[in-house]
C-alpha cells in the first residue's frame, strides 16, 4: 500500500506535459482559432479594397480638381487719415475699435490763423469787385464825354463857318476867324482824347463780366485758397469703417502728411491665399472657392471666386530678396498669393477682420478662365473733400453779388445773370 501511494504522488518528469484530464477540449480550440483569423483577414482586405475604391472614385471625380491651403489671411484697405495743413490738434472724435461714417469730423485742428487769413482774402475780393464795377460804370461816363466833345466840335465848326461866310464883308476880323479855327482844332483834340479814354476803359472791360474779370478772378483765387486752408482744419472720415492704429493726441502739433490714424472699411475685404507653385497649374481666374475662418469654425462657410494672381512670389517682393546665385543654394518651394473675392452677403452675416486665418479650397474643374487678369480699372475714391471746393465757390459768388452796385441790378440778379446782361449790352452797343 505504501509503494502504491508513493507512485501515485510522484511528480511528473521534466519535459513531460502535465495531464490535465481534458485532452478533447484542447484539440477543438486549436482547430477553431485559424478559422477566425482567416475570416478577420478577409474582412480587413475587403474593407481596404472598398475604401481604396471609394477614395479612387472620389479622387477621380472630385479630389483631383481641388487645391487647398491653410496659408491664407484676410486682407483689406487701410485708409490713412492725414492732415493737409499744419496745425495743433484741438479735438479727436473717435478712438480705436469705433466706427465712423464717411464725412464725419474725426480730427479738428486750431483754425484761428486760417480764419483771419480767410477774412482778409474776402475783404480784398469785395474791394476788387467794387473797383472793377467802377470800370463798367466808366464806360457810360466816357460815352457821355464823347457825346459832349462831339457837340463842342459841331458848335465850333458852325462858328467857323459863319465867320468865314461874312469874312469878305468885313463884319469879322481875321483874328476872329483864326480864333474860330483854333476852337475847332481844340474841340477835335478833346474829342480824340475822350475817344482814347473810352477805348482804354473798354480794353479793361470788353469780352468779360464783373465776375469773370481777371482782377476779380485773382482775388477769388486767394479767397479759394484761404477757404480751403480754413476748411481743412477739420479732417473728415474719407470712408465708412473702423478706427485702427490711432496715434494722434489732443495738443499735438501735426504737419501735412502725418499719419494720424487708419480707417478700415470691413465691407470690402478679400482673402490672399498663398498656394505652392505646383498647385497653380490648373488654377484660373473665376474658379469657385470655398473658405472657412478659424474664428467661426467649419460650421460657417464662405464662398467666393478667384479674381487674380500676384505678379510675383512673396520672396520676390521682400525688402532683401534671397540671393540664389550662391554655391550653397537649396531649392525652396515658392508660394504665390492668389486673391479671392468673397460674397458680400456672407460677409455681412459673419464679418471678418484683417489678418484672420482662413482655410481655402479652390475647385479647378473649370479651366476656361485665364491666369492673367484683363485690363480692369478698379477705382477707390471719396468725395468728402469735394464739398470744400463747392462751399468755397458759393462763398465767392456771394461776395461778388454783395459788392456789385445796385445800379447794375445785383439785388435782383445772380452773378450768372449779371454776366449774361453785360454780354448782351455790349453786343447791342
Beta-carbon contacts of residue 191 (< 8 Å; ≥ 6 apart): 146, 149, 150, 152, 153
Residues 391, 357, single domain; the answer is no
Residues 208, 128, single domain; the answer is yes
Residues 359, 270, single domain; the answer is yes
Q: What is the pLDDT of residues 137-169, one digit of tens each?
A: 888 898 999 999 899 899 988 888 887 887 777
Tell me the three state secondary structure of residue 283: coil
Q: Is residue 11 part of a domain?
A: no
> C-alpha angle 7/12/16, rounded to 5°?
135
As for how many domains the chain has, the answer is: 2
Contact 359, 340 (CB under 8 A): no
Residues 389, 359, single domain; the answer is no
3-state helix, strand, coil in the chain (%, to 5): 50, 20, 35
Residues 407, 355, single domain; the answer is no
Q: Is residue 16 part of a domain?
A: no
Radius of gyration of the chain (CA): 49
Q: Is residue 134 part of a domain?
A: yes
Contact 81, 385 (CB under 8 A): no
Indicate whether 225 pLDDT > 80: yes
Q: Is residue 6 part of a domain?
A: no
Residues 132, 206, single domain; the answer is yes
pLDDT recorded at residue 61 = 64
Residues 341, 403, single domain; the answer is no
Q: Is residue 22 part of a domain?
A: no
Does residue 361 or residue 54 have the better pLDDT?
A: 361
pLDDT recorded at residue 172 = 75
Residues 277, 349, single domain; the answer is yes
The set of cell numbers assigned to 81 is 487719415
Nearest to 201, CA basis, from 213, 189, 211: 213
Beta-carbon contacts of residue 251 (< 8 Å; ≥ 6 apart): 88, 89, 90
pLDDT recorded at residue 427 = 38
Residues 359, 271, single domain; the answer is yes
Query: How far is the C-alpha of 401 from the C-alpha of 310, rounded, in Å?
Result: 56
Residues 348, 390, single domain; the answer is no
pLDDT recorded at residue 428 = 36
Q: What is the pLDDT of residues 92-128, one digit of tens each?
A: 999 999 999 999 999 999 999 999 999 999 999 999 9
Residues 392, 305, single domain; the answer is no
- Using CA atoms, how far residue 267 sits from 14, 79, 345, 349, in Å, is 88, 13, 10, 11
Residues 143, 208, single domain; the answer is yes
Query: How far is the C-alpha of 169 from the C-alpha of 172, rounded, in Å?
Result: 8
Q: What is the pLDDT of residues 271-307, one digit of tens each?
A: 999 999 989 988 999 999 999 999 999 999 999 999 9
Residue 364, sorted as left (phi over 0), alpha (psi -120 to 50) or beta, turns out to be alpha
CATH (domain of 295): 2.40.30.170
pLDDT recorded at residue 106 = 96
Q: Is residue 296 part of a domain?
A: yes
Nearest to 65, CA basis, from 354, 367, 359: 367
DSSP alpha helices (H): ranges in 9-73?
Answer: 23-61
Could you tell me the residue range of the domain that residue 196 belongs to?
122-212+385-428
Q: Is residue 277 part of a domain?
A: yes
pLDDT recorded at residue 385 = 87
The region of weakest confidence among 32-41, 84-93, 225-234, 386-395 is: 32-41
Q: What is the pLDDT of residues 71-83, one digit of tens each?
A: 999 999 999 999 9
Q: Is residue 88 part of a domain?
A: no
- Using CA atoms, how far residue 314 sits from 73, 273, 334, in Å, is 14, 12, 8
Amino acid at each position: 500500500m505504501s509503494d502504491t501511494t508513493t507512485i501515485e504522488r510522484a511528480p511528473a518528469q521534466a519535459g513531460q506535459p502535465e495531464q490535465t484530464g481534458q485532452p478533447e477540449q484542447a484539440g477543438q480550440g486549436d482547430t477553431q482559432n485559424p478559422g477566425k483569423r482567416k475570416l478577420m483577414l478577409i474582412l480587413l482586405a475587403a474593407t481596404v479594397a472598398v475604401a481604396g475604391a471609394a477614395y479612387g472614385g472620389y479622387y477621380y471625380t472630385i479630389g483631383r480638381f481641388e487645391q487647398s491651403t491653410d496659408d491664407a489671411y484676410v486682407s483689406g484697405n487701410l485708409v490713412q487719415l492725414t492732415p493737409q495743413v499744419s496745425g495743433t490738434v484741438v479735438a479727436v472724435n473717435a478712438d480705436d475699435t469705433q466706427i465712423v461714417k464717411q464725412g464725419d469730423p474725426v480730427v479738428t485742428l486750431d483754425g484761428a490763423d486760417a480764419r483771419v487769413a480767410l477774412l482778409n482774402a474776402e475783404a480784398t475780393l469785395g474791394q476788387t469787385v467794387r473797383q472793377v464795377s467802377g470800370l463798367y460804370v466808366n464806360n457810360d461816363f466816357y460815352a457821355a464825354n464823347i457825346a459832349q466833345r462831339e457837340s463842342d466840335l459841331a458848335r465850333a465848326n458852325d462858328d467857323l463857318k459863319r465867320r468865314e461866310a461874312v469874312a469878305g464883308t468885313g463884319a469879322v476880323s481875321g483874328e476872329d476867324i483864326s480864333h474860330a479855327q483854333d476852337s475847332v482844332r481844340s474841340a477835335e483834340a478833346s474829342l480824340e482824347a475822350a475817344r482814347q479814354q473810352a477805348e482804354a476803359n473798354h480794353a479793361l472791360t470788353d469780352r468779360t463780366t464783373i465776375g469773370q474779370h481777371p482782377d476779380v478772378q485773382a482775388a477769388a483765387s486767394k479767397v479759394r485758397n484761404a477757404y480751403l486752408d480754413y476748411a481743412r482744419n477739420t479732417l473728415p472720415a474719407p470712408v465708412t469703417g473702423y478706427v485702427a492704429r490711432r496715434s494722434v493726441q489732443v495738443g499735438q502739433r501735426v504737419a501735412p502728411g502725418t499719419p494720424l490714424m487708419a480707417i478700415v472699411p470691413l465691407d470690402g475685404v478679400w482673402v490672399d491665399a498663398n498656394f505652392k507653385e505646383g498647385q497653380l497649374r490648373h488654377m484660373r481666374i473665376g474658379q469657385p472657392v470655398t473658405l472657412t475662418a478659424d474664428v467661426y469654425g467649419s460650421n460657417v462657410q464662405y464662398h467666393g471666386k478667384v479674381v487674380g494672381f500676384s505678379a510675383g512670389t512673396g520672396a520676390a517682393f521682400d525688402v532683401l530678396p534671397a540671393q540664389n546665385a550662391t554655391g550653397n543654394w537649396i531649392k525652396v518651394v515658392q508660394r504665390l498669393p492668389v486673391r479671392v473675392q468673397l460674397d458680400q452677403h456672407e460677409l455681412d452675416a459673419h464679418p471678418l477682420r484683417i489678418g484672420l486665418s482662413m482655410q481655402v479650397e479652390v475647385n479647378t474643374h473649370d479651366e476656361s478662365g485665364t491666369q492673367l487678369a484683363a485690363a480692369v480699372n478698379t477705382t477707390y475714391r471719396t468725395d468728402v473733400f469735394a464739398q470744400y471746393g463747392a462751399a468755397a465757390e458759393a462763398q465767392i459768388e456771394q461776395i461778388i453779388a454783395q459788392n456789385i452796385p445796385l445800379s447794375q441790378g445785383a439785388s435782383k440778379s445772380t452773378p450768372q445773370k449779371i454776366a449774361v446782361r453785360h454780354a448782351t449790352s455790349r453786343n447791342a452797343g
